[in-house]
Structure formats: C-alpha cells, structure tokens
Amino acid sequence: MTITVCVFDAYGTLFDVAAAAREAAAEPGREALAKVWPTLASNWRRKQLEYSWIRALSDNHTDFWAVTKDGLDWSLESAGLAGDTELRERLLALYWNLSAFPEVPEMLETLQKGGISTAILSNGSPHMLDGAVHSAGLGDLLDGVLSVESVGIFKPAPQVYDLVIQRFGVAKEHVLFVSSNGWDAAAAAAYGFKTAWVNRNGDPVDRLPGQPDHVLTELSGIPGLAGLK
C-alpha cells in the first residue's frame, strides 16, 4: 500500500526529551544536577508516561503539562533536589524549547518534497506542541499538529489514533506512524497503521499485541520507508 501520510510522535521522537536536563546541567552553578542529570532525565520521562497511562486507565484526565510537572517533581525529590525551586522552574522553561534531533528537519523536508503529508500526533497539549514546533523551526515542515486534548485521553487509547484518519481522510494502511516509544508503535500497529519504531537505545521489542513493521535507530531512513528514493 502507498504511504500518503507520515505521522510522528513528538516527545522522544522528534524532540529530545533529555535536552532540558542536559542543558541545565551544563549551566554554571548546577554541579548538583550535573552529577545526576541522566538519571533525573530518565526518571522524569518514565514518570511522565506512567502518570499519563494511569490517568487514562482511571478516567482522570489532565493536560500533559500537568503530568510533565508532576513527573519532574517526583524526579527532583528522588534526586534529592526537591528544595531547589529555581532549578525546577529552569527545567520546566527548557522543556518548552526542546531541541529537535539533528536529522529531523531534512527528513521532514524530504517527505514534503515527495508529496507525503506530515503531522505530529502527541500526548502534548496544544500550547506545549506549539512551543516545541516553533522553537525547533519545524512549522513549515508539518501539515498538522494533533493533540490528545481534542479527545481528552492519552495514548494508547484508540480514539487518539482516530484523529489521524479524521484529519487526513485516509485509510489506515496509507499511514506510516513513527514513534520512539515501543508501546506507542505497538498500539499504532494494532490499530492498523504501518509503523516504525525509532529504537535509539537498542531496547528489546515490547511484548504487546501489535508489532512495529520497521525498527530504526534514528529518523533519516523514514523517507525510504515511505516509498521515496
């Protein structure tokens, strides 16, 4: 089947979620953070996702910014940095301006030049996504930015993936869905999308009903998977 739409998860896929902690740790006076930033960044992301899943399962939705702050607070306390309110505010400010992975702009440009529609489908709230897209300079390279806030539940609820079909009016098999989250790629595959898992860490494939069609280590190969030479 011909791919006509390529849809990307945002955080961890297009945008480097470790960038906020890494950049803050490099600033003067951040010696305490510099010692623990990789663990803090990992815990922050893990708790952010865990809280989104639990909220979806318990029908207790809030926006992703609240989940992001809650995950950071847990991670700061775990690292013994809970009392540093200035650090907390700095990390949250940096999260609004996460760096895109270096291959992202060229990859998106190649897709668009090849006539393939591009979009984000994310747990992120609209304001968060607008900030990240603008900061990374990707606005002209995306045909849509879709947020779970329009359905009020986080991934991997099927109604989130429905947003792609509603926005682009295509059959599922014409969509290539790309995520750095194995569980997200698995859920999208089970939904009926063609899927690519960006496995930057070399993790095992998740034991879930859906399985990704492709496994990559970064994003530059996506145009080829979409059928472009």
The catalytic site residues sit at: 9
Residues 6+ apart with CB under 8 A from 132: 10, 11, 15, 96, 97, 98, 124
Say which DSSP state 123 is in: S
Contact by Cβ (8 Å): 185, 192 = no
Q: Please choose, from the candidates 11, 1, 27, 5, the residue with its C-alpha nearest in 3D space to the C-alpha of residue 123.
A: 11
Q: Which residue blocks in 125-214 are alpha helix, DSSP H? A: 126-136, 158-168, 182-191
